[in-house]
Structure 1
Amino acid sequence: MITATFHGQVIARAEQTVFLEGNHYFPPNSVEPAVSAKSWLRTLCFWKGIARYHHVHAGGFRASNAAWSYPLPSPLAWTIKGHVAFDPASGIVIRDEKH
């Protein structure tokens, strides 16, 4: 089981994620919908495509642009389509209980 927590609150939990470039990409249905809000920030990865960001809210705290996903990734990154990754530098803790 892989979990993402922010200030003690579980914001995502999945049996499997896609691990890519040091990040766990959680399936969309494994992320708690009430903990994120859309951001206007977009970035371009030369091989994955355009990432869309979200702010994360939990436990009375907010982390701006702390989650991102690729709604329409390039064919090379199709396995992460719609999956959500979190920025550990924002205080989000990812735990892989398998290791």
Structure 2
Amino acid sequence: MKAIWKDTVVAESDDTIVIEGNHYFPADSLKREYTLSSNHKTMCSWKGQASYLSLFVNGDVNPDAVWFYPNPLEAAAEIKDRVAFYKGVQVID
């Protein structure tokens, strides 16, 4: 699977986990040179608190387009050390 934004592959892995229609990629498959830190957080009742990263590609920013659960709740333990995408990021095979 590949995560693509602005014609740039920002993550690639054959090891994704699909939860609620979202592919969670291993965190080490994320190309960190395309990310910026973010203070944004959200809460999920069964996964826990999500943290976010923004994407930065060719001078364009996609705020909070990457999310992850640094300390997921037990029900979501399988997505620890994984990242997912939205806000126009295409995930293709």
Per the TM alignment, residue 37 of structure 1 is displaced from its structure 2 partner at its CA by 1.2
Q: Counterparts in 2 of 1:79-98, with a 5 A limit?
A: 79-87=78-86, 90-96=87-93
Inter-partner Cα distance in structure 2 for 1:67 and 1:28: 11
Per the TM alignment, residue 56 of structure 1 is displaced from its structure 2 partner at its CA by 0.5
Q: Is the 8 A contact 1:53 1:69 kept in 2?
A: yes
Gaps of 5+ in 2: none
Say how many residue pairs are matched: 93
> What do you get for the CA RMSD once the two structures are aligned?
0.8
* TM-score, normalised via structure 2 length: 0.95
Percent identity of paired positions between Structure 1 and Structure 2: 37
Hey, which bits of structure 1, 4+ residues long, moved more than 4 A?
none
Gaps of 5+ in 1: none
Question: What is the letter of the counterpart of residue 88 of structure 2?
Answer: G
Cross-structure match for 2:7: 8
Per the TM alignment, residue 59 of structure 1 is displaced from its structure 2 partner at its CA by 2.5
* TM-score, normalised via structure 1 length: 0.90
